[in-house]
Amino acid sequence: MFDEKTPYETNPVEGPLDAICAFVEAYDLLQTCLADADEDTDELRAAIFRPVQPEGDCAPIGIYEIGVIFNPSEGNYGINRHKLNAALLTREADVRALFVQEDGILPYLCDFLTEFLGDVEDDFVYAATMRFLNECRRLFAMFA
């Protein structure tokens, strides 16, 4: 399930598109580990998929609008790279708000995952959570 890297390492990324793809890949892995360990995933899923209202006169934006998709036939999350690239080109400020605004996805996830780690006993769930938390922190730093 995991390659030989420690849970604190991440693959290099060249920009926001790559960082968001790595974020979704780590999220998908965490969801799989949580399901295998019979852990509840509702709060995590709700945090990621809720829309965020950017400041100003903009429509709310959610992760689905930028191309994050669930593939039910394969049972995993992925990225429509064309849609994500278009969102980054045409709604860059909204995408940034989605992730790093005070009520955005990443501030909540960083707090939630840090607290969640204190209760994790399963090594695979811990490693997957750390990897996802690391991706959250990197994406936050990239957009901040």
Number of domains in the chain: 1
Q: Is residue 3 part of a domain?
A: no
Residue 8 lies in a domain: no
What pLDDT, in 10s, does the model give residues 81-118? Answer: 999 999 999 999 999 999 999 999 999 999 999 999 99
Contact 10, 134 (CB under 8 A): yes
Beta partners for residue 61, in sequence order? 52
Whether residue 2 has pLDDT greater than 50: no
pLDDT score for 9: 60
pLDDT category of residue 6 using cuts at 50, 70 and 90: very low
- Residues 64-72: contacts with CB under 8 Å, at least 24 apart: 66/20, 66/91, 66/95, 66/98, 68/20, 68/24
* Domain range enclosing 86: 16-143
Residue 43 belongs to some domain of the structure: yes
Q: How confident is the model at residue 1 (pLDDT cuts 50, 70, 90)?
A: very low
pLDDT tier, 144 (very low <50, low <70, confident <90, very high otherwise): confident
pLDDT tens sequence across 110-124: 999 999 999 898 888
Phi-psi region of 38 (alpha: psi -120 to 50; beta: other; left: phi over 0): left
- How many helices (DSSP H) and strands (DSSP E) are in the chain? 6, 2
Residue holding tokens 């995991």?
A: 2
Q: What is the pLDDT of residue 72?
A: 87
Is 79 among the domain residues?
yes
Quick: pLDDT tens for 42-77: 889 899 999 999 988 889 999 999 999 988 888 888
Whether 4 is covered by a domain: the verdict is no
CA distance 83 to 112: 28
Residue 60 domain-assigned (yes or no): yes
